[in-house]
């Protein structure tokens, strides 16, 4: 792929929803990341075992705190199981339609079993810091897999709703104690007929602070609201980013059942003190 000013402009312009946005340093990897979008419609092509192995190898190449590697991933292909997981994930049909559904597990059970075999204790696993490490490392690994998938011509979308009914998901997947499904990832070849595009993000100046946090960057949000509202109108959607944030975080009723996650983690053996 040629490294041209036109390509840099188109990538940055799409990412920020701003025709004047430019990025003077770019290569194939950066351009791939700038072009990322969520894919919710897939063709009938399967994801091969060889491609799956590449995605997991990429995931395992992500950073991991103290080399703890506190995650696992479950590859689900069985149509009936995908359908059940779709129903448990806010009945999102694309979970069932995708040829491959990856469920990423924050997995402290492996360390617990290691301690049991060694006849010792891992009391630090009871603390919030270790639970955070489990979720953070799982997310880092999964994002590596997303970039790898896109480099292979595949598309994907994360599914946070896998946490809506965590105990039913755990039963479906046979999860052992001290583990929890962090999120899902639907993977497949993108259907070119899907009406979707690169969704604009906040202006870089709104998220990049230099030396100290600058709350004046919030002044850029109205500009972004206009850009995202224009994007939404293209696809028959309504609302601004501000609308979305305030609605999504309004209260427990907006969380799809996830407001009880702390209690669920306790029952799963992740006390997070």
Query: Does position 1 have pLDDT exceeding 60, yes or no?
Result: no
Over residues 119-141, the mean pLDDT reads 97
Query: Does position 6 have pLDDT exceeding 60, yes or no?
Result: no
Query: Does position 2 have pLDDT exceeding 70, yes or no?
Result: no
Query: Does position 157 have pLDDT exceeding 60, yes or no?
Result: yes
Question: SS in 3 state form for 36-93?
Answer: CCCCCCECCCCCCHHHHHHHHHHHHCCCCHHHCCCEEEEEECCHHHHHHHHHHCCCCH
Reported confidence tier of residue 25, pLDDT bands at 50, 70, 90: confident
Question: SS in 3 state form for 116-136?
Answer: HHHCCCCHHHHCHHHHHHHHH
In this prediction, residue 7 carries a pLDDT of: 42
Query: Does position 195 have pLDDT exceeding 70, yes or no?
Result: yes
Strand partners, 185: 102, 158
Write down the domain spans for the chain.
Answer: 49-192
| DSSP states of 148-209 | HHHHTT-EEEEEGGGGSSHHHHHHHHTPPTTEEEEEEEEEEPBPTT----PPP---HHHH--
Q: What is the pLDDT of residues 26-78, one digit of tens each?
A: 899 999 999 999 999 999 999 999 999 999 999 999 999 999 999 999 999 99
Strand partners, 72: 105
> What percent of the chain lies above the pLDDT cut of 70?
96
Over residues 168-188, the mean pLDDT reads 98
SS3 content of the chain, % helix, strand, coil (to 5): 55, 10, 35
Query: Does position 134 have pLDDT exceeding 70, yes or no?
Result: yes
Rounded to an integer, what distance in angstroms lies between the CA atom of residue 76 and that of residue 232?
Answer: 32
Over residues 255-264, the mean pLDDT reads 95
Tokens of 17: 């929803």
In this prediction, residue 228 carries a pLDDT of: 96
In this prediction, residue 8 carries a pLDDT of: 40
| DSSP states of 240-266 | -HHHHHHHHTS-GGGTTTGGGHHHHHH
> What percent of the chain lies above the pLDDT cut of 90?
94
**Per-residue CA distances from 93 to 41, 79, 121 (Å):** 9, 12, 43
Strand partners, 179: 107
Reported confidence tier of residue 156, pLDDT bands at 50, 70, 90: very high
Q: Tell me: domain 49-192, CATH 3.40.109.10, correct? A: yes
In this prediction, residue 26 carries a pLDDT of: 84
Per the prediction, the chain carries an average pLDDT of: 94
In this prediction, residue 5 carries a pLDDT of: 40
In this prediction, residue 3 carries a pLDDT of: 42
pTM (predicted TM-score) = 0.94
Helix (H) or strand (E) holding 90: none
Helix (H) or strand (E) holding 271: none
More confident residue, 273 or 3: 273
Neighbouring CB atoms inside 10 A of 234's CB total: 10
Q: Which of 74, 125, 71 is nearest to 100 (CA)?
A: 74
Neighbouring CB atoms inside 10 A of 16's CB total: 21
């Amino acid at each position: 792929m040629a490294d041209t000013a036109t390509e840099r402009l188109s990538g940055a312009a799409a990412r920020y929803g701003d025709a004047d946005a430019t990025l003077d340093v770019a290569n194939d990897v950066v351009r791939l990341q700038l072009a990322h979008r969520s894919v919710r419609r897939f063709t009938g092509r399967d994801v091969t075992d060889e491609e799956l192995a590449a995605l997991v190898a990429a995931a395992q190449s992500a950073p991991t705190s103290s080399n703890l590697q506190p995650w696992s991933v479950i590859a689900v292909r069985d149509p009936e199981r995908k359908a059940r997981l779709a129903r448990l994930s806010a009945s999102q049909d694309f979970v069932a339609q995708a040829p491959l559904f990856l469920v990423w597990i924050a997995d402290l059970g492996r360390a617990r079993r290691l301690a049991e075999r060694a006849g010792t204790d891992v009391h630090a696993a009871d603390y919030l810091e270790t639970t955070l490490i489990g979720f953070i490392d799982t997310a880092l690994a999964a994002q590596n897999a997303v970039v790898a998938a896109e480099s292979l011509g595949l598309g994907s979308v994360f599914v946070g709703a896998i946490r809506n009914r965590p105990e039913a998901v755990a039963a479906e997947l046979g999860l052992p104690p001290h583990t929890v499904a962090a999120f899902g990832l639907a993977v497949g070849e993108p259907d070119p007929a899907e009406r979707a595009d690169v969704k604009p993000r906040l202006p870089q100046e709104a998220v990049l602070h230099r030396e100290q946090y600058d709350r004046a960057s919030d002044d850029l949000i109205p500009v972004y609201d206009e850009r995202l509202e224009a994007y939404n109108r293209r696809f028959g959607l309504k609302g601004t980013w501000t609308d979305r944030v305030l609605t999504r975080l309004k209260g427990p009723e907006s969380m799809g059942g996830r407001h009880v996650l702390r209690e669920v983690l306790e029952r799963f053996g992740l006390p997070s003190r």
